């Protein structure tokens, strides 16, 4: 295993595998991605690409610099969970964003970008599960969804403003990314498609989508992002859900997201607005 030495923009190794796929795909798509992936580093193995990006952001590294790892030893997910990150089984990616106006929207924007990137690069009609899990759905059964990708956004705040955001995403490329306990609940692009997938092409498409989505929000506000998120998330309307509240398990029927991206749920007690945490589809 090569030590975790960064290779900026022009990695030297040419012996195939994920790094070679990424090198090829990013070189071919530079004019579609804006700042995202204009410079990048690949690590055979790292603790967490989000941690690397947070440290780099603190040092002043520019917006759009991308950290990619072949494996993570301390990959983390939302709600304090572990993100299983075995070698070359998934895409483990983080980038830096310095536009504080994007902060309220970056979670939804990350989900839309990764979903669009997967759809465009593989043809797989993935959907979003609130707030930003990327899932494969069989038929109309929301509960039979397999999670293919997840997004973790972390921000650093100054006295009165967000200083930077790190947007991390993990995409399961191969079934070997999945621990046995996630059997049935998680899937991979290759498992869904039944064929090999070029991780570099998926990454390039996701970064291009992130560029489009963030430019759109920066220029015109979140309306188009919210509309696209709703289009990609049919389960956010009319899905029977439950979630854990301090009063115990609550149930209801989803009623879309509001203008702030909160999930609305109609319950026997009235309309609830869920801003964080996890909702389970029944
Ligand atoms: C989730 O819980 O759904 C979010 C998972 C985010 C995983 C990615 S992999 C790259 C980046 N580095 C991390 O440690 N986590 C994110």
For the segment 215-274, what is each residue's pLDDT rounded down to a tens digit?
Answer: 999 999 999 999 999 999 999 999 999 999 888 899 999 999 998 889 999 999 999 999
**What is the whole-number distance in angstroms between the Cα of residue 33 and the centre of ligand 1?**
21
Per-residue pLDDT for 14 more than 70? Answer: no
Amino acid 142: pLDDT: 59
Q: Whose CA is nearest to atom 3 of ligand 1?
A: 150
Q: Which residues does residue 265 pair with via DSSP β-bridges, in sequence order?
A: 254, 272
CA 30 – CA 17 distance, rounded (Å) = 20
**What is the whole-number distance in angstroms between the Cα of residue 269 and the centre of ligand 1?**
35
Strand pairing category for 66-69 and 40-43:
parallel
- The DSSP result for 57-98, as a single string, is HHHTPPTT-EEEES-BSS-B-GGG-B----TTSEEEEEEEE-
Say what percent of the chain tops pLDDT 70.
92
**What is the whole-number distance in angstroms between the Cα of residue 92 and the centre of ligand 1?**
7
For residue 137, name the pLDDT band (cuts at 50, 70, 90). confident
Instruction: Tell how far CA 26 is from the center of its chain.
Output: 18
Tell me if 169 CB under 6 Å of ligand 1.
yes
Bond preceding residue 101 cis, omega within 30 of 0: no
CA 280 – CA 95 distance, rounded (Å) = 29
Amino acid 33: pLDDT: 97
Tell me if 166 CB under 6 Å of ligand 1.
no
Q: Which atom of ligand 1 is nearest to the CA of 133?
A: 3
Per-residue pLDDT for 5 more than 50? Answer: no
Mean pLDDT of 112-126: 97
**What is the whole-number distance in angstroms between the Cα of residue 234 and the centre of ligand 1?**
24
Per-residue pLDDT for 8 more than 50? Answer: no
Angle between helices 223-232 and 199-220 (to 10 degrees): 140
Question: What is the three-class DSSP state of 174?
Answer: coil
Question: What is the three-class DSSP state of 90?
Answer: strand
Intra-chain end-to-end CA distance of the chain, in Å: 44
Amino acid 2: pLDDT: 40
Say how many C-beta atoms besides its own lie within 10 A of residue 47's C-beta: 16
| Alpha helices per DSSP H over the chain | 18-28, 49-59, 106-122, 189-193, 199-220, 223-232
**What is the whole-number distance in angstroms between the Cα of residue 153 and the centre of ligand 1?**
9
Mean pLDDT of 2-18: 47
């Amino acid at each position: 295993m090569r030590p975790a030495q960064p290779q900026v923009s022009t990695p030297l190794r040419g012996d195939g595998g994920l790094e070679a796929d990424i090198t090829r795909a990013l070189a071919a798509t530079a004019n579609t991605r804006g700042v995202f992936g204009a410079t990048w580093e690949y690590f055979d193995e790292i603790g967490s690409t989000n941690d690397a990006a947070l440290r780099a952001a603190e040092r002043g590294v520019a917006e759009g610099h991308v950290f990619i790892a072949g494996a993570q030893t301390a990959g983390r997910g939302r709600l304090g969970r572990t993100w299983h990150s075995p070698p070359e089984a998934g895409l483990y990616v983080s980038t830096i964003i310095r536009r504080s106006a994007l902060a309220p929207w970056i979670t939804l924007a990350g989900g839309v970008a990764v979903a669009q990137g997967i759809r465009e690069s593989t043809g797989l009609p993935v959907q979003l599960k609130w707030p930003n899990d990327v899932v494969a759905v069989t038929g109309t059964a929301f509960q039979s969804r397999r999670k293919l990708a997840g997004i973790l956004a972390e921000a650093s705040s100054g006295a009165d403003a967000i200083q930077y955001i790190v947007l991390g995403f993990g995409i399961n490329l191969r079934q070997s990314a999945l621990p046995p306990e996630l059997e049935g609940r998680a899937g991979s692009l290759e498992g869904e498609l039944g064929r090999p997938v070029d991780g570099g092409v998926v990454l390039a498409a996701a970064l291009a989508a992130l560029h489009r989505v963030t430019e759109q929000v920066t220029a015109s506000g979140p309306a188009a992002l919210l509309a696209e998120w709703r289009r990609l998330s049919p389960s956010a309307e009319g899905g029977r859900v439950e979630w854990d509240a301090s009063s115990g398990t609550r149930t209801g029927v989803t009623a879309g997201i509001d203008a702030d991206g909160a999930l609305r749920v109609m319950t026997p007690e009235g309309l609830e607005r869920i801003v964080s945490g996890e909702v389970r589809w029944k």
